[in-house]
Amino acid sequence: MAQKIRKAVFPVGGLGTRFLPATKALPKEMLPVVDKPLIQYAVEEAAAAGIEEFVFVTGRGKQAIEDHFDISYELDQTLGARGRVDLVDTLRSWMPDPGQITYTRQMDPLGLGHAVWCARKYIDDEPFAVLLADDLVLADKPCLQQLIESYHTKPGNIVAAMDVLPEHTDRYGILDIEEDKGQLVSVKGLVEKPLRRNAPSNLAIIGRYILMPEVFEHLSKKNTGAGGEIQLTDALAKMVNSTPFYGLRFDGRRFDCGDKVGFLEANLAFALDRDDMKKAVERLVKSYT
Ligand code: UTP
């Protein structure tokens, strides 16, 4: 039986340049979609999928993330004194237990592959998940849960995948497909941000992965790739001949919250998905059309 996925890595060390000046003092992962920071959505998704240990790879200026996953005594006390116990609950109910979160610093934002490599001591020798908080997925069944279920039927590396427009392949890691079974795809290669004419398919990786610990051996070589960064995709490409590798076309809608338009769209979609906001937001949208 495949080993249980107990640990997840949250790379939150990036600079978030596309959101400057908002991200000058505020980590990109703390940007709120409706009323919840991106990183909280990712942690809740992981917890719902059974993750027990949460490893954050942070960097300079990311303290707000640590504070968010901590008790705020002043706020608790003030709200308690005002009789707002309901709000105290919204501050605490989703928090992992003390000791379940570990923080390590990337120190230099050398790329996603490097960020994942920084978590190696905490993952050790077991398969693990990676979640990128700026990829937000609206789904009935959490995207990571879908990946984990798939991993238990077909153990190996598995990434969440979605078909993108051919002219957008240069924004993503792209899968070279061996066999396409509709939802599950076996993979024979990966290329980071290929131009349309060089792309092996238009099936793109989005920010949810289940990875075998052997990935750390490849990441430790610290080879740079697209954009001069240490790319996770390049390390994964080295594993396709030695480890079963799959892409899963997940059920759900993904929003690229690292991009301004994607972030706005996520706010709209998540607000429209809420009973307390749906009607007002529908009226609002209508007034702009
Ligand atoms: P992005 O590619 O979106 O980069 O990272 P970024 O620096 O966050 O944002 P832009 O492109 O400058 O606007 C995708 C994810 O990988 C993490 C980011 O924090 C984000 O969650 N990341 C990226 C790291 O943790 N370290 C890195 O060196 C690069």
pTM for the model stands at 0.96
Expressed in angstroms and rounded, the spacing between residue 12 Cα and the centre of ligand 1 is 7
Q: Whose CA is nearest to atom 22 of ligand 1?
A: 14
Residue 188 inside a domain? The answer is yes
The answer to whether residue 108 is domain-embedded is: yes
Residue 55 domain-assigned? yes
**Domain tally, the chain:** 1
Scored b (16 or more CB within 10 A) or e, 7-33 reads: bbbbbbbbebeebeeebeebbbbbbeb
Average pLDDT over residues 12-19: 94
> What per-residue confidence (pLDDT) applies to 1?
79
pLDDT digits (tens, 9 = 90+) for 99-144: 999 999 999 999 999 999 999 999 999 999 999 999 999 999 999 9
Q: Specify if 94 maps to a domain.
A: yes
- Domain of residue 240, residue span: 7-287
Q: Using one digit for the tens of pLDDT, what is the confidence trace for 202-245?
A: 999 999 999 999 999 999 998 888 889 999 999 999 999 999 99
Of 38, 40, 134, the one to substitute when testing ligand 1's pocket (max ligand atoms within 8 A of C-beta) is 134
Helices (DSSP H) in the chain: which residue ranges?
Answer: 38-48, 63-68, 73-81, 85-92, 112-117, 120-123, 143-153, 215-219, 232-237, 260-272, 278-287
Specify if 106 maps to a domain: yes
Q: Specify if 2 maps to a domain.
A: no
For residue 1, tell me if it sits in a domain: no
More confident residue, 5 or 226: 5
pLDDT of residue 110: 95
> How many angstroms does the Cα of residue 86 sit away from the middle of ligand 1?
35
* CATH code of the domain containing 238: 3.90.550.10
Q: Whose CA is nearest to atom 23 of ligand 1?
A: 14
**pLDDT tens per residue across span 45-66:** 999 999 999 999 999 889 999 9
